[in-house]
Amino acid sequence: MKKLFLLLILFFSLNSNAQTVLEVLKALSGKTDEQTSNNIVKQEPTLIEFYNNTGAEISACYAYYNNEDRCWTSVGWYTIPPYSPKTINIGNYTGNIYIRGRQGLLTEWGSGDGQFCVDATQAFTIKFADTKDCWSKKKFSKYIVRSGVNKWTFN
């Protein structure tokens, strides 16, 4: 019975959100919400720590798969001072993201693993950024993130 219980927890944690897992645990154990949530390890948020390893300011952005809207969404710009970190909390997201950086008009980071729409002049959040017809579609580099701190250095 204990093995079945653990398999059910694993299955639902991989295929559902945390709320669904709590509901299943509560139903199986007959415990209250408070009793159930005290026995579950809280997931750390996912952080991207951009590090600027250059002598000039960098603007960075990223794209992630928005599970709620079922689309790729690009978000930016984040200003990173020279030789400094900038940490961004992206919630409980894990998996592939794509990262891009720029420094003025001449220096850019992005290998071309993916291409997404950005707004070249101001802060942005663009849904369907991979398929949308836009004025500025730029190259991004793929990066896999997990909960906790994920470090990315611009050299």
Output the domain CATH number for residue 95. Answer: 2.60.40
Measure the CA–CA gap between 124 and 143, rounded to whole angstroms.
20
- State the pTM of this model: 0.73
Are residues 72 and 12 part of one domain?
A: no
Number of structural domains found in the chain: 2
Residues 19-45 pLDDT 10s: 554 465 455 555 555 544 455 567 899
Per-residue pLDDT at 21? 47
Residues 63 and 128 in one domain: yes
| Domain shared by 81 and 10, yes or no | no
**Residues 102 and 135 occupy one common structural domain:** yes
Q: What is the span of the domain harbouring residue 56?
A: 46-154
61 and 112 within one domain: yes
Q: What is the mean predicted confidence (pLDDT) over 83-104?
A: 97
27 and 92, same structural domain?
no
Pairs from 12-20 (Cβ < 8 Å, separation ≥ 24): 18/43, 18/92
Give per-residue pLDDT as tens, 63-83: 999 999 999 999 999 999 999
18/51 same-domain check: no
31 and 55 assigned to the same domain: no
Question: Is 109 found in the same domain as 147?
Answer: yes
Same domain for 95 and 147, yes or no, is yes
Residues 26 and 96 occupy one common structural domain: no
- Give the CA diameter of the chain: 62
Short-list 35, 36, 111, 126, CA closest to 72: 126
Around Cβ 46, how many Cβ atoms within 10 Å? 21
Do both 52 and 124 map to the same domain?
yes
Given this model, what pLDDT does residue 5 score?
47
